[in-house]
């Protein structure tokens, strides 16, 4: 098992890619700290991780709340003694064209997708530096590379996550901490539930593989990047889009 004896925090782990990542890490032997705003989803994913044979703990936390994040990390360190991996997966969308986007919509996305990543990473950093080792994995998006109509706020936040990744990999690499990002394309998660069928079909048609990605396929990338198999990968942004941007 690639992540045996590792302790991993996964934010936004209540559903979709986050839940798949938490379960994958559990299957790979990690102790998993499941974080999400939905308490029922947290308990469900914690249960699934334990059924996979892993230790797991759950926290209901708003990643945009700096003090709540710091408290969650402190409790995880108290319970498990260390944090080896942080997956900054939590994210939201509040889509609108630029001329219609409200300041509230812009700020909500920035608070979760950008500031939340900053809060969580700072919260784990001292312990990782003391260990002389750690892995930070950030969720970007193909939208953060190429932009997308109606997603000024989301695109900006995901561009920003790439900036974090490039900067932190330089700062933290000498301290034994690797920082990488994953940029998924169209992934079949609950966030797509409100999209009309004809729009989903158009999305599929834009992908050379002619299908949406599966959360488990992104989780597999995170598991690889978190493992020692990826020990020389640092500062990378790995696009996983089925070739949609070719």
Distance CA 172, CA 40 (A): 35
Q: Which of 54, 44, 53 is nearest to 18 (CA)?
A: 44
Catalytic residue of the set 146, 149, 154, 222: 154
The values of phi and psi at residue 25, to 5°, are -65, -40
Q: Which of 137, 130, 136, 138 is nearest to 175 (CA)?
A: 130
Has 222 been annotated as catalytic?
no
Distance CA 238, CA 110 (A): 22
The structure tokens listed for 205 are: 């048609």
Q: Confirm if 70 and 76 have CB atoms less than 8 A apart.
A: no
Structure token pair of residue 102:
């409200």
Q: Which residues are catalytic?
A: 154
């Amino acid at each position: 098992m690639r992540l045996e004896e590792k302790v991993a925090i996964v934010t936004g782990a209540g559903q979709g890619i986050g839940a798949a990542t938490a379960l994958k890490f559990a299957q790979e032997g990690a102790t998993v700290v499941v974080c999400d705003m939905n308490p029922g989803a947290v308990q469900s994913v914690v249960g699934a991780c334990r059924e996979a044979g892993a230790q797991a703990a759950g926290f209901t936390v708003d990643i945009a709340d700096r003090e709540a994040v710091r408290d969650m990390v402190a409790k995880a360190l108290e319970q498990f003694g260390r944090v080896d991996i942080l997956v900054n997966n939590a994210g939201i969308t509040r889509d609108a064209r630029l001329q219609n986007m409200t300041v509230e919509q812009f700020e909500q996305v920035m608070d979760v997708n950008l500031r939340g990543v900053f809060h969580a990473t700072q919260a784990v950093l001292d312990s990782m530096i003391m260990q002389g080792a750690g892995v930070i994995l950030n969720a970007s998006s193909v939208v953060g590379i190429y932009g997308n109509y109606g997603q000024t706020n989301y695109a900006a936040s995901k561009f920003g996550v790439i900036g974090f990744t490039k900067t932190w990999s330089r700062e933290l690499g000498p301290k034994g901490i690797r920082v990488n990002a994953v940029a998924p394309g169209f992934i079949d998660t609950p966030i797509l539930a409100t999209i009309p069928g004809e729009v989903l079909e158009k999305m599929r048609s834009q992908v050379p593989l002619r299908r949406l990605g599966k959360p488990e396929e992104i989780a597999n990338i995170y598991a690889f990047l978190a493992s020692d198999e990826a020990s020389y990968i640092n500062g990378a942004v790995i696009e996983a889009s089925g070739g949609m941007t070719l």
